[in-house]
Amino acid sequence: MSSTSSATLRANQIWMDGQFMKWDEGQMHVMTHALHYGLGVFEGIRAYRTHDGRIAVFRLREHIQRLVDSAHICMLKLPYTTDELVEACVELLRKQKDIFANGAYLRPIAFMGDGAMGLGAVNPTRVAITAWDWGAYLGEKGIREGIRGKVSSFTRMHVNVNMVRGKISGQYVNSILAKREAVLAGYDEAILLDISGFVAEASGENIFMVNKKGVIKTPPLSSPILDGITRDTVLKLLRDSGRYVEEVTFTRDALYIGNEIFFTGTAAEITPVREVDNRMVGDGKPGPVTQFVQETYFRTVRGQEPRYAEWLTYI
């Protein structure tokens, strides 16, 4: 399923403000503060069917901790603990076992609810968790063959303009504009630069590249990028395999002459990039490093790599 497709399979229940309810009952008032001003935080989490037929959520606790941290950054007071939110995610999937026999995409979200208006308002925080079936974000063909990327005219915001350690709802307008620009121009995804002109990240993914000397590079966390959990996973997989990865800044033309490029993200998983700005990457096919990362990542999330078993929460 592409990123623009509507969900064909969704939970029949959601968790909202501490209780389960039917999907269609998960509603809020039009005067909800976050709808007007964007003050909310969220996560995207995947659950996979493992090799032995069970369902496991990948790095659930790390995702929920980032949600809690994002809320703290935004001064949103969460009425639930990390443990309570982890258990709510697990219980939601338990209740939907028959629907999500092959896995699911979880979306926890916390946001300022209705009450007072204005930028200085402080209203109670609402929290919800939903789940649906979301296939390859950039398409199954993109996973296999790679996608076309475009360096965006939109710049990733400065670290003092947005809170880069937080996954904050309103900040994604920047990504939406970049993504729409790329798609309307005939590309699959946007690549954003920082204010100094260095590569930051894609609209919803972190980025890795392999240069002609075989050096693997990814932008550092001092750049205006999300501290991606999939990014962290890939760094661990690469370094555990004996491969050296540099967390350094690099320019867009480094992408043009790179041998391999791939995106990482919970939704996008590991998606190769075969072309940037009409310039073919390497030989236009996923390279050996990309293939290694893809294969090891998918083995890991499906419970086939025992050394990373602690990353899986079984339902």
pLDDT of residue 98: 86
Q: Residue 2: its pLDDT value, please?
A: 38
Task: Please tell me the predicted confidence (pLDDT) of residue 8.
Answer: 63
Instruction: Report pTM.
Output: 0.94
Question: What ranges make up the beta strands (E) of 206-288?
Answer: 206-210, 216-218, 245-247, 260-265, 269-276, 279-280
CA distances from 204 to 1, 47, 73, 198, 277 (A): 16, 19, 20, 17, 18
Query: How many angstroms separate the CA atoms of 166 and 178, rounded?
Result: 19
C-alpha of 105 from chain center:
11
CA 131 – CA 50 distance, rounded (Å)? 18
pLDDT of residue 155: 97
**Parts of the chain with a pLDDT under 50:** 1-7
Interval 57-94: pLDDT, tens: 999 999 999 999 999 999 999 999 999 999 999 999 99
Cα dihedral 152, 154, 159, 165, rounded to 10, equals: -60
Burial class of 28 by CB neighbour count within 10 A (0 to 12, 13 to 18, 19+): middle
pLDDT computed for residue 206 by the predictor: 98
pLDDT of residue 113: 97
Write down the pLDDT at residue 162: 87
List residues with catalytic annotation: 167
